[in-house]
Chain A
Amino acid sequence: MVVATRVISYREALNEAIRLEMRRDPTVVIMGEDIAGGAGIGHVENVGAWGGVLGVTKSLVSEFGRQRVLDTPISEAGFIGAAVGAAVTGLRPIAELMFVDFFGVCMDQIFNQGAKLRYMFGGKAKVPLVIRTMIGAGFGAAGQHSGCHYAVFTHMPGLKTVAPATPYDAKGLLIAAIRDDDPVIFFEHKLLYDTTGEVPEGEYVIPLGKADVKREGSDVTVVAIARMVHVALEAAARLAGEGIDVEVIDLRTLSPLDEEAILESLAKTRRLVVIDEDNPRCSVAADIAALAVDKGFDYLDAPVKMVTAPHTPVPFSPSMEQFYIPSPQRVIDAIREVV
């Protein structure tokens, strides 16, 4: 069967995933601040005003109405908790936490309620909830709107965590997340919304917990997350000219972690560099380095290298912000140390 594809943006791919799932399943609802926008204002009541702060949920309200596309007050603890309660009682809510940095105001509802209810209730409850949230530096948005923080959620039992790097993955992973019966935190990098790629029309699912080899290579394995996949690919392209053959693994899902894909690649290349835009302490990068040392020690011919953000908040001024974000050059330098 030939599946029609076309080139669309990461933003459009996410919108399409939500739209298709809302058509397919009447229990899917979406809620968040300004996700339609202009609630209660006559001339935009049926069309929405914003469609999300960066337009991901644009025009959903026109098709599904205000009953299923719910603008919320700026009240994250209230509506994220309501999404948890709705998930336990029979809906499949998608809640949008506008910026991941806002987790501070609603973490109890995510961590002590959503993540733990099933366990504390002895398996009697299901929490089929997706929290979509925006991550990443590079926008000049400074300390409270630029973090990644996916390590915080990956640390927590009961949650699954997903961070797509391409439009194709964004759509297939979001559909999988919506259909999943566990709570999934879905991290969208704000610098990726305008990137484009081939995306099939219609529904398809990319299973959670499966990494993807974005570039095959034999000399060194680079494991990357979200936008850092593109940084890794750029570094790999530049090193190819020098005869260094880099394999790039896109984790796609952070919890559960595709340990097999990492170890398999490591068995082949015997060298590992991990790139992570999150802060380094107790990070996903550190977790993967620990995995390599614990389960892949015999494969290793060189120390494991981590290329991460520094242990600082995200700075505002572009000169410092660019210093903060792992660059292709830093990845190249790390690779040179190990090959």
Chain B
Amino acid sequence: MDIPQEKLRWIYERMVTIRRFEDRVAQEFAAGKLPGFVHLYAGEEAIAVGVCAHLTDRDYITSTHRGHGHCIAKGVDVRSMMAELFGRSTGACKGKGGSMHIADVDKGMLGANGIVGGGPPLACGAGLMAKVKGTDQVAACFFGDGAAEQGTTHEAMNLAAIWKLPVVFVCENNLYAESTPWTYHCAASDIASRAAAYDMPGVLVDGADVFAVYEAAGEAIARARRGEGPSLLECRGFRYYGHFQGDAVTYRTKEEEEEYRRRDPIERFRKTVLSQGLVTEDELNAIDEAVAREIEQAVRFAEASPLPSPEECLTDVYVDYPVAQLAFRH
């Protein structure tokens, strides 16, 4: 496959950023420094990065409760992300969203989403905007295998198909919806084949192979940009952590986890580019070091940032609304 060198370095840098970010979040969470709870994306890096490699800031993505990887792949500032997880006023959402709602509309990132199946209709809306305005923007809709069973996902695929919207549905099948295996919750033998019901292309991809994701997403996104309508990709992957931090992961075996770690997307990428002489080891190592510094700085930035003032609770509900009625008799 012909991927420019600069893009290869970008793919590696984004995947490593996601991995280091998530590993660090796991640490900080375990140390009790993060409020709420977090769902980590480590292991699935190739999917977000392989898809977003074809998108610009003008394109949109919708995401899931496991949204940090999508944010990083779409170019959201890592410092503002870390600060958001720490609940600080410098956070991407000023501390109002947290992990499950982390967003940056200016980067085309329409939010992690705490509702499973919440994103697909929103992606149709972004696609509709592009169609009405006659632009070549596209919307990529990430959703999990759990969301594949939500009505909204099916309604959105049907709507995108009948209106020929520039939407690419990316099912990240990480094999478990919380603790429930997809082979139990899904009546079909694969999720990609459901595309046939909506008369759109459906492709099953190895979600730990960034080259495979890149190629399949490239075709689907090009099709959307040409105005030929939506596609569905099912990317099979694996999350290294549990559903959430604190999940004892009793539903998976050690053997299964080891097997998936042997297919690690970042290691595979390294092997491929090094064996083919596409990028040098020194270059990859330099990226590793730069990413490590960036993550360290992000944590320091977050820790040094102030908490929002309590009254900040009352802002950003509306563009325009009587303040006294927001505070009510508070």
| A and B: interacting chains | yes
Q: Is the CB of A118 within 8 A of B317?
A: yes
- Residues of A within 8 Å of B113, CB to CB, are 113
Tell me how far the C-beta of B27 lies from the nearest C-beta in chain A, rounded to whole angstroms. 25
A209 at the interface (CB under 8 A from B): yes
Please measure, in the bound complex, the distance between the C-alpha atom of A29 and the C-alpha atom of B163, giving whole angstroms.
Answer: 14
Please measure, in the bound complex, the distance between the C-alpha atom of A112 and the C-alpha atom of B122, giving whole angstroms.
Answer: 12
Please measure, in the bound complex, the distance between the C-alpha atom of A96 and the C-alpha atom of B105, giving whole angstroms.
Answer: 26
Q: Is the CB of B128 within 8 A of A121?
A: no
A136 at the interface (CB under 8 A from B): no
Question: Residue on B with the closest CB to A259?
Answer: B325
Q: Is the CB of B124 within 8 A of A182?
A: no
Q: Is the CB of B110 within 8 A of A85?
A: yes
Q: Is the CB of A123 within 8 A of B159?
A: no
Q: Number of B interface residues, CB 8 Å?
A: 54
**For chain A residues 237-254, which have a beta carbon within 8 Å of chain B?**
none
Stretch of A49-57, A70-78, A193-201, A307-315 that contacts chain B: A70-78
Q: Is the CB of B97 within 8 A of A120?
A: yes
> Which residue, A67, A73, A82, A157, has most C-beta atoms of chain B within 10 A?
A82
- A269-294 contact mask (Cβ, 8 Å, vs B): 1 or 0: 00000000000000000000000001
A79 at the interface (CB under 8 A from B): yes
Q: Is the CB of A108 within 8 A of B103?
A: no
Stretch of B6-14, B35-43, B86-94, B286-294 that contacts chain A: B86-94
Given contacts A78-B121, A82-B121, A119-B317, contact A108 B152 (CB under 8 A): yes
**For chain A residues 63-90, which have a beta carbon within 8 Å of chain B?**
67-68, 70, 72-73, 75, 77-90
Q: Is the CB of B121 within 8 A of A80?
A: yes
Q: Is the CB of B93 within 8 A of A120?
A: yes
Please measure, in the bound complex, the distance between the C-alpha atom of A27 and the C-alpha atom of B130, giving whole angstroms.
Answer: 11
A109 at the interface (CB under 8 A from B): yes
Please measure, in the bound complex, the distance between the C-alpha atom of A117 and the C-alpha atom of B162, giving whole angstroms.
Answer: 27
B129 at the interface (CB under 8 A from A): yes
Question: Residue on A with the closest CB to B104?
Answer: A124
Please measure, in the bound complex, the distance between the C-alpha atom of A129 and the C-alpha atom of B8, giving whole angstroms.
Answer: 41
A158 at the interface (CB under 8 A from B): yes
Tell me how far the C-beta of A176 lies from the nearest C-beta in chain B, rounded to whole angstroms. 11
**For chain B residues 73-129, which have a beta carbon within 8 Å of chain A?**
91-97, 101, 103-106, 110-111, 113-115, 118, 120-129
B156 at the interface (CB under 8 A from A): yes
- Residues of B within 8 Å of A109, CB to CB, are 118, 121, 152
Please measure, in the bound complex, the distance between the C-alpha atom of A197 and the C-alpha atom of B228, giving whole angstroms.
Answer: 48
**For chain A residues 218-266, which have a beta carbon within 8 Å of chain B?**
256-257, 259
**For chain A residues 21-76, which have a beta carbon within 8 Å of chain B?**
27, 29, 67-68, 70, 72-73, 75
B151 at the interface (CB under 8 A from A): yes
Which of A73, A81, A86 interacts with B152 by CB under 8 Å? A81
Tell me how far the C-beta of B226 lies from the nearest C-beta in chain A, rounded to whole angstroms. 18
Which of A82, A87, A91 interacts with B156 by CB under 8 Å? A82
Please measure, in the bound complex, the distance between the C-alpha atom of A72 and the C-alpha atom of B114, giving whole angstroms.
Answer: 26
Q: Is the CB of B124 within 8 A of A85?
A: yes
- B123-161 contact mask (Cβ, 8 Å, vs A): 1 or 0: 111111111110000010000000000011001101100
Given contacts A118-B319, A123-B315, A126-B319, contact A85 B159 (CB under 8 A): no
Question: Residue on B with the closest CB to A294?
Answer: B329
Q: Is the CB of A88 within 8 A of B93?
A: no
A104 at the interface (CB under 8 A from B): no
Please measure, in the bound complex, the distance between the C-alpha atom of A206 and the C-alpha atom of B315, giving whole angstroms.
Answer: 25
Q: Is the CB of A72 within 8 A of B316?
A: no
Q: Is the CB of B97 within 8 A of A121?
A: yes
Which of B60, B101, B121, B126 interacts with A77 by CB under 8 Å? B121
Q: Is the CB of B121 within 8 A of A84?
A: yes
Q: Is the CB of A29 within 8 A of B132?
A: yes
Which of B93, B155, B162, B325 interacts with A256 by CB under 8 Å? B325
**For chain A residues 155-206, which have a beta carbon within 8 Å of chain B?**
157-158, 160, 180-182
B283 at the interface (CB under 8 A from A): no
Please measure, in the bound complex, the distance between the C-alpha atom of A220 and the C-alpha atom of B118, giving whole angstroms.
Answer: 48
Please measure, in the bound complex, the distance between the C-alpha atom of A70 and the C-alpha atom of B121, giving whole angstroms.
Answer: 15
B320 at the interface (CB under 8 A from A): yes
- Residues of B within 8 Å of A89, CB to CB, are 60, 110, 125-126, 129-130
- Residues of B within 8 Å of A113, CB to CB, are 113, 115, 118, 121-122
B184 at the interface (CB under 8 A from A): no
- Residues of A within 8 Å of B163, CB to CB, are 70
Q: Is the CB of B316 within 8 A of A78?
A: no
Question: Residue on A with the closest CB to B91?
Answer: A122
Which of A27, A67, A117, A259 interacts with B111 by CB under 8 Å? A117
Given contacts A67-B132, A86-B129, A88-B110, contact A123 B316 (CB under 8 A): yes
Tell me how far the C-beta of B94 lies from the nearest C-beta in chain A, rounded to whole angstroms. 3
Please measure, in the bound complex, the distance between the C-alpha atom of A82 and the C-alpha atom of B97, giving whole angstroms.
Answer: 22
Q: Is the CB of B320 within 8 A of A182?
A: yes
Given contacts A75-B155, A79-B159, A81-B120, contact A112 B125 (CB under 8 A): no
Please measure, in the bound complex, the distance between the C-alpha atom of A3 and the C-alpha atom of B235, giving whole angstroms.
Answer: 62
Q: Is the CB of A124 within 8 A of B103?
A: yes
**For chain B residues 152-191, which have a beta carbon within 8 Å of chain A?**
152, 155-156, 158-159, 162-163
Which of A81, A112, A121, A256 interacts with B114 by CB under 8 Å? A112
Q: Is the CB of B162 within 8 A of A88?
A: no
A141 at the interface (CB under 8 A from B): no
| Contacts A85-B123, A88-B105, A124-B93 known; 8 new A-B pairs at CB < 8 A | A81-B124, A86-B132, A91-B125, A108-B115, A119-B317, A180-B320, A256-B325, A259-B325
Supply 25 A–B pairs (Cβ within 8 Å), ascending by A: A73-B162, A75-B159, A78-B155, A78-B156, A81-B155, A82-B124, A84-B122, A85-B62, A85-B110, A85-B121, A85-B126, A85-B127, A86-B125, A86-B128, A88-B125, A90-B133, A112-B118, A113-B118, A120-B96, A121-B96, A122-B91, A123-B316, A124-B106, A158-B317, A256-B325
What is the interface of chain A, defined by CB distance below 8 A to chain B? 27, 29, 67-68, 70, 72-73, 75, 77-91, 93, 108-109, 112-113, 117-126, 157-158, 160, 180-182, 209, 256-257, 259, 294
- Nearest 5 pairs of A and B residues by beta carbon: A85-B125, A81-B121, A78-B155, A123-B316, A122-B94
